[in-house]
Amino acid sequence: MMKPDWWWGRSASLDLHGCNPLLMKDPKILKRFVRGLCQVLKMKRVGPPEIKRFGHGKLRGYSVMQFIETSTITAHFDEVGCRAFIDVFSCREYDPQPVAQFSQKFFDAKDCKIYVEERR
């Protein structure tokens, strides 16, 4: 299928609930997640992922940002609520379903909601 002239990229946002909290608290595991997700997407990473833990109280947790050749992957983790919020934006077409399946399985999430927007 041909992309319309106005098409610039695709943004997929995932809300994962009921995640295994141990998987969201280890930067080495988060780095493994990003590498695996890039393999699923068949997209090349640009540099290492930025992984930081910050915030206060209920809002303390890790955030991840990975540049890819066609844009970025970001993820934010709610350790208290056992939730993960993952966003993939790319100006190269991709299927969000494998992204959701991989992410849900990786974090052992009970459910996953996907929001997809075609960007212009």
Residue 2 has pLDDT above 70, yes or no: no
- pLDDT tens, position by position, 62-96: 999 999 999 999 999 999 999 999 999 999 999 99
Q: Indicate whether 54 belongs to any domain.
A: yes
Whether the CB-CB separation of 66 and 38 falls below 8 Å is answered with yes
Tally the domains of the chain.
Answer: 1
Tell me if the pTM is above 0.85: yes
Range of the domain at 100: 20-119
Give the span between the Cα atoms of 85 and 37, in whole angstroms: 14
- Asked if residue 6 belongs to a domain, the reply is no
> Does 61 map to a domain?
yes
60 found inside a domain: yes
Q: How many CA atoms lie within 13 A of 105 on its CB side?
A: 9
Look at residue 9 and tell me if it is in a domain: no
CATH of residue 50's domain is 3.60.90.10
Residue 4 located in a structural domain = no
